[in-house]
Structure 1
Amino acid sequence: MKQFQLPSRIRLANLPTPIEPATRISREWGANIFIKRDDLTGSELSGNKVRKLEFVIAEAQKNGADVLITCGGLQSNHARATAVAAAKLGIRSYLVLRGEPSAINDGNILIDHLVGAQIRYISAEDYAARVDEIMEQSAAELSQQGYCPFIIPEGASNALGAFGYIEATREIATQLRQMKINIDYLVIATGSGGTQAGLIIGRKLFNQSYRVLGINVCDDQSFFVNKIGRICNDAIDQYQIPVAVSAADIEIIDGYVGEGYALNRPQEIELIREIAAVEGVIFDPVYTGKAMFGLREQILQARFRKTDNILFIHTGGLFGIFPKKELFSSSG
């Protein structure tokens, strides 16, 4: 490992999370698949976002923050994890969410309400055009009320948040060494880019030989090559990380967004049901379910050799099942 100074960190996640063989789908699909269970980082804090928040909230605390402001979709895992973390730390959370309030709260937004988050709903158009501006306005209003707000970007996907998965790479490397497994590919669902950025930097920093593949669940390959490259280079520059990342290091498997972000085709829902039944592992319809569908299709199209070892990171999202329960009921 190359040496550098790790930023401040607080402990929120239950780590390390296990790596488990997915023996039955491996046999059925003709592959060697392992699952890194980052859905087990916590209960209320479940998922990949808490790894990033350990670093981002440490910075917020250094700045004396007593309100965490962030944004996301109506069922944002990141917004929920931020709200839960704030409650655990005895501070407030303010969420700017894309969508409209519902008479029935379910999934992540139910938890947002349970932990006392203040929520501002905005239209999809306003979110796309000026969510950062709206968060800044909200921060100014809270400051006038005597609070000390701290803005966390969507998905905690920035230079500091990338350290969540730089450090996860260290964890993975240790586990693989102990398990005496060499992996050829590490595969994730890519939605805001920060997790893949951290894994790419971590792979270089800890001298790992596998390739990092992101299956995008929104936008397209060009968008993520640019965004992930920007996050990587910001982290490398700001924290003097002794590695270099080029566009060639950022591998995106495009073509599995399907009907659109958070929208599902029947075959995606059916795959989630199938894996749950044979592996006892539940993937979510927004991120991991789509990415696992893409991975299966790539395996069946012979992108990988039968001898390749593939590690899929389960980034959580279980609460996203419940707002879509009608889809699962109607699919059998």
Structure 2
Amino acid sequence: MESKIFYLNKIPGFAGRCNDILYSSPLRVTAVHRLIVFFGGDVQDLKSCMEKHNDSKRYLMWSLENTLSILSKRFPQSHIMIVRPSRMEIKSYAVFSCYDNFVPGDEYGVPSFKPNNNALLHLSKLLRSVLTQVSQQDILGVNLTLMAFSKGCVVLNQFLHEFHHIQNQENLDENLKDLTKRIKDIWWLDGGHAGTKDTWINDKRILESFAKLGTLVLDMSCGNVKHWILKNFYVVGIKVYVYVTPYQVNDKRRPWIKNQENLFCKTLQELHVPVQRTLHFKEEKPSLTTHFNVLTVIKDIST
């Protein structure tokens, strides 16, 4: 069975922000559905755009359309939604993905994280707009997987800042309540950007808030059962998958990436967040080939 594929132009989100979206329905129809939201890396764009640039056209196999096909085959029971960056910064030597609608960045998309940039609210409204356009409103309540590769991981990092920001808000937007309680797992795939800091989030306060997110969700749905929650909240926490390659974490020119990634995983594990960390292609020389190939080794482990 083939999935239905849609390219949706300028989908509205929060306060006038718009993103182009690629969406595909599940290859295999089952009673249980999931929606994967994916943010790609530098270079990755629509095939027609990549063909016009001397550097980008070397990586056509990783176009957003091909990436959608890869994800659909790796997760055949899931709806897939790829968020195209709102800005592609074109230089003579490379093209940089800039997720300005989620996190402010410079001309190369290097992020400047904020406590709140309404990135979560933008995502929530994007989801509703997309699912309405593709006539899939019935999956608005399904579980969510957030997944990002390379530069796209800056969006996940901004989400972490916002999880911390909303933790103690009394009048939390109903859309944010719904969004956070449906996130079941988050995948960081060989994260990196052109900056020299904040490749991975190491602020313990922010990671502590993330570790408590499962408790927050349970508390909203089950009422005042704090004693039971404190005893059992590890079970309901969001699962984290970290897939890395030597291209990012063994680069001697950028030692901060390895150090930050190690501390990120170590801190989450100490906070009892379920983390699965895997170093892929560790016997191979660091290269863009192995970097991109991490997209081919992810798989659906929920079934």
- Structure of higher RCO (CA pairs closer than 8 Å, 6+ residues apart): 1
- Structure with the largest fraction of helix: 1
Under a length normalisation based on structure 1, what TM-score does the superposition of the two structures give? Answer: 0.32
Higher strand share: 2
